[in-house]
Amino acid sequence: MRNHGFILLGFTAAATLTLAACSTGSTPEPGSFGPRQASSPSTTPQGKKSAPLSADQLGPRLLDIVDMGSDYRVQPQQDSKHDDIAVVGCPAMEKLGGAAAGGALDFPTQAKVTFAYNGSADSEVAEEIYTDTEDKLSSSTRTIFDAMAACPKYQLASGSTPIDVTTQKVTAPERGDERWATVMTLTSGGRTTMIKQVAVRSGTVLVVLSGSPGLVDTHLGKALDKALAPAT
């Protein structure tokens, strides 16, 4: 299965984090955000939908070390291909993977960064920012979260390593035009970890924060303030 755009955060990135976290027995505290809510699309003062941003405009919207603090360090970006990860027991997720392979969920303009707390691979928080038309961002992101909600329990298979997954909708912050949030509990080899994902779309910008629930909760507000600031 190839990943395109936001599908990486849908489950392949979560699986990658889990394979490392489950090997250490890390179990972060559950998050507190919940079901998706939506409001009307953003418009310009003239009533027209805003245009996507350029790639150069996205990078400065990411959190940086100054925002995060001295206890964090930036993790090197890894190859985003996860062809060996398959979904088992969730037709909606399996169908989503096929759509992604065809490019239907591809957001070509994006910026991303991953931080580790105290240098630990078990305590990471990743941020991704995408820009595209409002309709495409909304439709593709809704498709992913709806598929995840359709199967509260399923399994990820990465090589010979099975990962049991349970997904729970949680309350998303009242920000932007649309917002979604989930907590994924992943178990492998008798070890359990939690991955929290929060996605907020404002106009033509989508920001996603994913990782340890406590770290996501801690940095979500500043991430949204910075990522969703009006374009200058």
For residue 1, is it within any domain? no
For residue 174, is it within any domain? yes
**4 closest CA partner among 78, 134, 97:** 97
pTM: predicted TM-score of the whole model, two decimal places:
0.78
**79 closest CA partner among 32, 12, 163, 162:** 12
Cβ atoms of residues 124 and 23 within 8 Å: no
For residue 148, is it within any domain? yes
Helix (H, G, I), strand (E, B) or coil at 3: coil
pLDDT in the model for residue 147: 84
**88 closest CA partner among 143, 165, 150:** 165
CA distance 197 to 182: 5
For residue 94, is it within any domain? yes
Helix (H, G, I), strand (E, B) or coil at 178: strand
CB atoms inside a 10 Å sphere around CB 204: 22
CB atoms inside a 10 Å sphere around CB 102: 10
Range of the domain at 192: 7-227
The Cα angle at residue 41 between residues 97 and 211, in degrees rounded to 5: 45
pLDDT in the model for residue 47: 52
For residue 165, is it within any domain? yes
pLDDT in the model for residue 37: 35
pLDDT in the model for residue 209: 94
For residue 2, is it within any domain? no
Number of domains in the chain: 1
- Provide block-wise average pLDDT over 10 residues at a time, the chain (232 residues): 34 46 40 33 53 93 96 80 71 67 58 87 87 93 86 82 89 95 89 91 95 94 96 73
Looking up residue 85, the CATH number of its domain turns out to be 3.40.1000.70
